[in-house]
Amino acid sequence: MRKKVTIVGAGQVGATAAQRIFERGYADVVLVDIIEGLPQGKALDILQSGPVVGSDVSIVGTNKYEDTAGSDVVVITSGVARKPGMSRDDLLFTNLDIVGAVTKETVKHSPKAVLIIVTNPLDAMCQHAYQVSGLPRERVIGQSGVLDTARFRTFLAQQLGVSPRDVQAYVLGGHGDTMVPLVRYTTVGGVPVADLVPKETLERIVKRTRDGGAEIVALLKTGSAYYAPSAGVAEMVDSIILDQHRILPCAAYLDGEYGIRGLYVGVPTRLGTGGIEEIIQIKLTAEEHAMLQKSADAVQELVNVMRKGRPKAA
Protein backbone atom coordinates (compact mmCIF):
# COMPACT_ATOMS: atom_id res chain seq x y z
CA MET A 1 0.00 0.00 0.00
CA ARG A 2 1.25 3.47 -0.90
CA LYS A 3 2.17 5.99 1.75
CA LYS A 4 -0.21 8.91 2.29
CA VAL A 5 0.64 12.57 2.79
CA THR A 6 -1.89 15.21 3.82
CA ILE A 7 -1.32 18.92 3.22
CA VAL A 8 -3.58 21.19 5.26
CA GLY A 9 -4.02 24.59 3.63
CA ALA A 10 -4.45 25.00 -0.14
CA GLY A 11 -2.78 28.38 -0.33
CA GLN A 12 0.45 29.01 -2.19
CA VAL A 13 2.74 27.07 0.17
CA GLY A 14 0.34 24.16 0.65
CA ALA A 15 -0.66 23.76 -2.99
CA THR A 16 2.93 24.01 -4.22
CA ALA A 17 4.07 21.47 -1.62
CA ALA A 18 1.27 19.17 -2.76
CA GLN A 19 2.43 19.53 -6.35
CA ARG A 20 6.07 18.78 -5.47
CA ILE A 21 5.14 15.66 -3.49
CA PHE A 22 2.71 14.47 -6.16
CA GLU A 23 5.47 14.75 -8.76
CA ARG A 24 7.75 12.56 -6.61
CA GLY A 25 5.31 9.71 -7.20
CA TYR A 26 5.90 7.83 -3.94
CA ALA A 27 2.79 8.81 -1.95
CA ASP A 28 -0.88 9.60 -2.44
CA VAL A 29 -1.68 13.19 -1.52
CA VAL A 30 -4.70 14.78 0.16
CA LEU A 31 -5.07 18.58 -0.01
CA VAL A 32 -7.41 20.03 2.64
CA ASP A 33 -8.88 23.50 3.02
CA ILE A 34 -11.99 25.04 4.54
CA ILE A 35 -12.83 26.93 1.33
CA GLU A 36 -15.20 24.83 -0.77
CA GLY A 37 -13.86 24.10 -4.25
CA LEU A 38 -10.36 25.47 -3.65
CA PRO A 39 -8.55 22.25 -2.72
CA GLN A 40 -10.70 20.23 -5.13
CA GLY A 41 -9.84 22.50 -8.05
CA LYS A 42 -6.13 22.67 -7.30
CA ALA A 43 -5.88 18.92 -6.71
CA LEU A 44 -7.67 18.19 -9.99
CA ASP A 45 -5.32 20.52 -11.85
CA ILE A 46 -2.27 18.82 -10.32
CA LEU A 47 -3.71 15.36 -11.02
CA GLN A 48 -4.06 16.21 -14.72
CA SER A 49 -0.31 16.93 -14.87
CA GLY A 50 0.38 13.28 -14.00
CA PRO A 51 0.65 11.95 -17.56
CA VAL A 52 3.10 14.74 -18.42
CA VAL A 53 5.36 14.51 -15.34
CA GLY A 54 5.13 10.72 -15.14
CA SER A 55 3.33 10.41 -11.81
CA ASP A 56 0.55 7.87 -11.31
CA VAL A 57 -0.20 8.50 -7.62
CA SER A 58 -3.50 9.93 -6.42
CA ILE A 59 -4.17 13.49 -5.30
CA VAL A 60 -7.58 14.61 -4.03
CA GLY A 61 -8.88 17.87 -2.64
CA THR A 62 -11.35 17.94 0.20
CA ASN A 63 -12.99 19.99 2.94
CA LYS A 64 -13.40 16.94 5.18
CA TYR A 65 -10.76 15.64 7.56
CA GLU A 66 -12.24 12.15 7.29
CA ASP A 67 -10.54 11.94 3.89
CA THR A 68 -7.14 12.38 5.54
CA ALA A 69 -7.47 9.23 7.67
CA GLY A 70 -4.42 7.03 7.84
CA SER A 71 -1.92 9.65 6.73
CA ASP A 72 1.75 8.92 7.35
CA VAL A 73 2.73 12.60 7.26
CA VAL A 74 0.56 15.68 7.82
CA VAL A 75 1.91 19.08 6.74
CA ILE A 76 0.15 22.05 8.34
CA THR A 77 0.44 25.26 6.32
CA SER A 78 -2.92 26.81 7.22
CA GLY A 79 -3.03 30.21 8.87
CA VAL A 80 -3.18 33.89 8.03
CA ALA A 81 -0.42 36.25 7.01
CA ARG A 82 0.16 39.39 9.05
CA LYS A 83 -1.99 42.22 7.71
CA PRO A 84 -1.57 46.00 8.05
CA GLY A 85 -2.55 47.10 11.55
CA MET A 86 -2.30 43.55 12.92
CA SER A 87 -0.09 43.23 15.98
CA ARG A 88 2.28 40.32 16.53
CA ASP A 89 -0.03 39.09 19.29
CA ASP A 90 -3.05 39.25 16.95
CA LEU A 91 -1.22 37.08 14.43
CA LEU A 92 -0.07 34.72 17.14
CA PHE A 93 -3.52 34.08 18.60
CA THR A 94 -5.30 33.92 15.24
CA ASN A 95 -2.94 31.25 13.96
CA LEU A 96 -2.90 29.57 17.36
CA ASP A 97 -6.63 28.91 17.04
CA ILE A 98 -6.26 27.66 13.47
CA VAL A 99 -3.27 25.38 14.10
CA GLY A 100 -4.83 24.02 17.30
CA ALA A 101 -8.07 23.09 15.56
CA VAL A 102 -6.29 21.59 12.55
CA THR A 103 -3.94 19.57 14.74
CA LYS A 104 -6.80 18.04 16.73
CA GLU A 105 -8.67 17.04 13.58
CA THR A 106 -5.70 15.52 11.78
CA VAL A 107 -4.42 13.58 14.80
CA LYS A 108 -7.94 12.24 15.44
CA HIS A 109 -7.93 10.65 11.98
CA SER A 110 -4.19 9.91 11.70
CA PRO A 111 -2.88 9.16 15.20
CA LYS A 112 0.35 7.62 13.87
CA ALA A 113 1.26 10.52 11.58
CA VAL A 114 4.34 12.71 11.73
CA LEU A 115 3.34 16.40 11.82
CA ILE A 116 5.34 19.03 9.94
CA ILE A 117 4.39 22.56 10.95
CA VAL A 118 4.92 25.43 8.49
CA THR A 119 2.55 28.12 9.85
CA ASN A 120 4.11 31.26 11.37
CA PRO A 121 5.18 32.24 13.95
CA LEU A 122 6.76 28.85 13.34
CA ASP A 123 8.37 27.94 16.65
CA ALA A 124 5.35 28.98 18.68
CA MET A 125 3.01 27.06 16.36
CA CYS A 126 5.16 23.94 16.80
CA GLN A 127 4.94 24.34 20.57
CA HIS A 128 1.16 24.58 20.42
CA ALA A 129 0.74 21.67 18.00
CA TYR A 130 2.93 19.50 20.21
CA GLN A 131 0.86 20.31 23.29
CA VAL A 132 -2.49 19.87 21.54
CA SER A 133 -1.60 16.70 19.64
CA GLY A 134 -0.41 14.59 22.55
CA LEU A 135 2.14 13.06 20.16
CA PRO A 136 5.73 12.30 21.18
CA ARG A 137 8.14 15.12 20.45
CA GLU A 138 9.88 13.28 17.62
CA ARG A 139 6.64 13.32 15.59
CA VAL A 140 5.99 17.09 15.70
CA ILE A 141 8.58 18.97 13.66
CA GLY A 142 8.91 22.51 12.32
CA GLN A 143 10.04 23.41 8.81
CA SER A 144 12.29 26.42 9.23
CA GLY A 145 15.96 25.51 9.32
CA VAL A 146 15.75 23.72 5.96
CA LEU A 147 14.41 26.92 4.39
CA ASP A 148 16.79 29.29 6.20
CA THR A 149 19.76 27.07 5.36
CA ALA A 150 18.72 26.92 1.70
CA ARG A 151 18.68 30.71 1.57
CA PHE A 152 22.12 30.91 3.21
CA ARG A 153 23.56 28.35 0.77
CA THR A 154 21.99 30.18 -2.19
CA PHE A 155 23.50 33.54 -1.28
CA LEU A 156 26.94 32.02 -0.66
CA ALA A 157 26.83 30.17 -3.99
CA GLN A 158 25.89 33.39 -5.78
CA GLN A 159 28.75 35.23 -4.11
CA LEU A 160 31.31 32.57 -5.07
CA GLY A 161 29.90 31.59 -8.46
CA VAL A 162 29.65 27.92 -7.49
CA SER A 163 26.91 25.30 -7.39
CA PRO A 164 24.79 25.53 -4.22
CA ARG A 165 25.12 21.74 -4.02
CA ASP A 166 28.75 22.25 -3.02
CA VAL A 167 27.85 24.62 -0.17
CA GLN A 168 27.30 22.83 3.14
CA ALA A 169 25.84 24.87 6.00
CA TYR A 170 23.52 24.93 8.99
CA VAL A 171 21.22 27.67 10.23
CA LEU A 172 20.02 27.07 13.80
CA GLY A 173 17.70 28.86 16.21
CA GLY A 174 14.24 30.29 15.79
CA HIS A 175 12.72 31.18 12.44
CA GLY A 176 13.19 34.93 12.45
CA ASP A 177 15.62 37.74 13.19
CA THR A 178 17.47 35.70 15.82
CA MET A 179 18.33 32.70 13.61
CA VAL A 180 21.95 31.56 13.90
CA PRO A 181 23.86 30.78 10.67
CA LEU A 182 26.89 28.74 11.75
CA VAL A 183 29.65 30.26 9.63
CA ARG A 184 32.30 28.16 11.38
CA TYR A 185 30.68 24.94 10.14
CA THR A 186 30.05 26.25 6.62
CA THR A 187 32.17 24.80 3.81
CA VAL A 188 32.33 25.08 0.04
CA GLY A 189 33.61 21.88 -1.55
CA GLY A 190 35.10 21.01 1.83
CA VAL A 191 36.91 24.36 2.17
CA PRO A 192 35.91 26.57 5.14
CA VAL A 193 33.89 29.48 3.81
CA ALA A 194 35.89 31.93 5.95
CA ASP A 195 38.90 31.10 3.74
CA LEU A 196 36.97 32.08 0.63
CA VAL A 197 34.76 35.03 1.60
CA PRO A 198 35.86 38.21 3.45
CA LYS A 199 34.40 38.65 6.93
CA GLU A 200 32.42 41.77 5.97
CA THR A 201 30.85 39.98 3.02
CA LEU A 202 29.94 37.00 5.21
CA GLU A 203 28.26 39.32 7.71
CA ARG A 204 26.25 40.88 4.88
CA ILE A 205 25.16 37.43 3.65
CA VAL A 206 24.20 36.38 7.17
CA LYS A 207 22.04 39.49 7.51
CA ARG A 208 20.43 38.85 4.13
CA THR A 209 19.64 35.29 5.23
CA ARG A 210 17.92 36.57 8.37
CA ASP A 211 15.91 39.01 6.24
CA GLY A 212 15.26 36.45 3.49
CA GLY A 213 11.51 36.27 3.90
CA ALA A 214 11.07 40.02 4.34
CA GLU A 215 13.08 40.68 1.17
CA ILE A 216 10.68 38.56 -0.87
CA VAL A 217 7.61 40.13 0.75
CA ALA A 218 8.94 43.61 -0.11
CA LEU A 219 9.44 42.62 -3.74
CA LEU A 220 6.07 40.90 -4.16
CA LYS A 221 4.16 43.71 -2.41
CA THR A 222 1.36 41.22 -1.69
CA GLY A 223 2.00 37.67 -0.55
CA SER A 224 5.14 35.93 0.65
CA ALA A 225 7.57 33.16 -0.29
CA TYR A 226 6.22 29.76 -1.26
CA TYR A 227 8.51 28.11 -3.82
CA ALA A 228 11.46 27.68 -1.43
CA PRO A 229 9.28 26.88 1.64
CA SER A 230 7.44 24.18 -0.31
CA ALA A 231 10.75 22.74 -1.50
CA GLY A 232 11.86 22.57 2.14
CA VAL A 233 8.67 20.72 3.04
CA ALA A 234 9.20 18.23 0.23
CA GLU A 235 12.78 17.53 1.33
CA MET A 236 11.58 16.74 4.85
CA VAL A 237 8.75 14.55 3.56
CA ASP A 238 11.25 12.70 1.33
CA SER A 239 13.43 11.84 4.33
CA ILE A 240 10.47 10.66 6.42
CA ILE A 241 8.48 8.71 3.82
CA LEU A 242 11.57 7.14 2.18
CA ASP A 243 13.36 6.64 5.52
CA GLN A 244 16.44 8.42 4.19
CA HIS A 245 17.92 9.38 7.58
CA ARG A 246 18.88 12.81 6.23
CA ILE A 247 20.58 15.27 8.58
CA LEU A 248 18.41 18.38 8.25
CA PRO A 249 18.05 21.49 10.42
CA CYS A 250 14.48 21.50 11.78
CA ALA A 251 12.56 23.03 14.66
CA ALA A 252 12.60 20.35 17.35
CA TYR A 253 11.42 20.18 20.95
CA LEU A 254 14.55 20.31 23.10
CA ASP A 255 14.66 18.54 26.44
CA GLY A 256 18.10 19.55 27.67
CA GLU A 257 19.93 19.44 24.34
CA TYR A 258 22.12 22.52 23.87
CA GLY A 259 21.22 23.46 27.44
CA ILE A 260 17.65 24.33 26.38
CA ARG A 261 14.60 22.62 27.84
CA GLY A 262 10.93 22.70 26.94
CA LEU A 263 11.15 24.77 23.73
CA TYR A 264 11.06 24.32 19.98
CA VAL A 265 14.34 25.58 18.51
CA GLY A 266 16.02 24.92 15.17
CA VAL A 267 18.81 22.32 15.46
CA PRO A 268 20.33 19.60 13.24
CA THR A 269 18.15 16.48 13.27
CA ARG A 270 18.17 13.06 11.62
CA LEU A 271 14.83 12.39 9.96
CA GLY A 272 13.41 8.95 9.20
CA THR A 273 10.11 7.10 9.13
CA GLY A 274 9.27 7.90 12.75
CA GLY A 275 10.14 11.58 12.46
CA ILE A 276 13.15 12.83 14.41
CA GLU A 277 15.42 9.87 15.08
CA GLU A 278 18.14 11.93 16.71
CA ILE A 279 18.93 15.51 17.65
CA ILE A 280 22.52 16.10 16.57
CA GLN A 281 24.47 18.06 19.16
CA ILE A 282 27.41 19.88 17.62
CA LYS A 283 30.01 21.76 19.63
CA LEU A 284 29.35 25.48 19.78
CA THR A 285 31.66 28.29 20.81
CA ALA A 286 30.58 30.50 23.71
CA GLU A 287 29.50 33.16 21.19
CA GLU A 288 27.49 30.70 19.10
CA HIS A 289 25.82 29.25 22.17
CA ALA A 290 24.94 32.76 23.36
CA MET A 291 23.30 33.49 19.98
CA LEU A 292 21.36 30.23 20.14
CA GLN A 293 20.22 31.02 23.66
CA LYS A 294 19.14 34.51 22.54
CA SER A 295 17.08 32.87 19.80
CA ALA A 296 15.55 30.47 22.32
CA ASP A 297 14.71 33.42 24.58
CA ALA A 298 12.79 35.02 21.70
CA VAL A 299 10.80 31.80 21.30
CA GLN A 300 10.19 31.73 25.06
CA GLU A 301 8.71 35.23 24.89
CA LEU A 302 6.09 34.02 22.40
CA VAL A 303 5.37 30.94 24.50
CA ASN A 304 4.85 33.17 27.55
CA VAL A 305 2.38 35.29 25.59
CA MET A 306 0.53 32.12 24.56
CA ARG A 307 0.31 30.97 28.18
CA LYS A 308 -1.16 34.29 29.32
CA GLY A 309 -3.89 33.95 26.75
CA ARG A 310 -5.51 36.36 24.31
CA PRO A 311 -5.69 39.95 25.62
CA LYS A 312 -9.20 41.04 26.56
CA ALA A 313 -10.78 43.67 24.34
CA ALA A 314 -10.92 47.14 25.83
Residues belonging to the active site: 175
Cα–Cα distance list, 224 to 45, 198, 220, 227 (Å) = 22, 31, 7, 10
Q: Taking the CA of residue 226 as centre, how many other CA atoms within 13 Å lie in the half-sphere pointing to its CB?
A: 19
What are the two backbone dihedrals, phi and then psi, of residue 3, each rounded to the nearest 5 degrees?
-70, 165
Nearest alpha-carbon partner for 176 in 276, 302, 58: 302
What are the two backbone dihedrals, phi and then psi, of residue 10, each rounded to the nearest 5 degrees?
-100, 25
Determine contact, residues 174/123, Cβ cutoff 8 Å.
yes
Instruction: For Cα atoms 282, 77, 163, give the angle at the middle one, nearest 5 degrees.
Output: 50
Report d(CA 311, CA 108) in Å as an integer: 30
Report d(CA 37, CA 63) in Å as an integer: 8
Cα–Cα distance list, 43 to 16, 21, 25, 112, 294 (Å) = 10, 12, 15, 24, 42
Q: What is the CA radius of gyration of the chain?
A: 19
Q: What is the DSSP pairing of strand 27-32 with strand 59-62?
A: parallel
Instruction: For Cα atoms 83, 123, 285, give the angle at the middle one, nearest 5 degrees.
Output: 125
E-only strand ranges, the chain:
3-8, 27-32, 59-62, 73-76, 114-117, 140-142, 167-168, 171-172, 180-181, 187-188, 191-192, 246-255, 261-272, 275-279
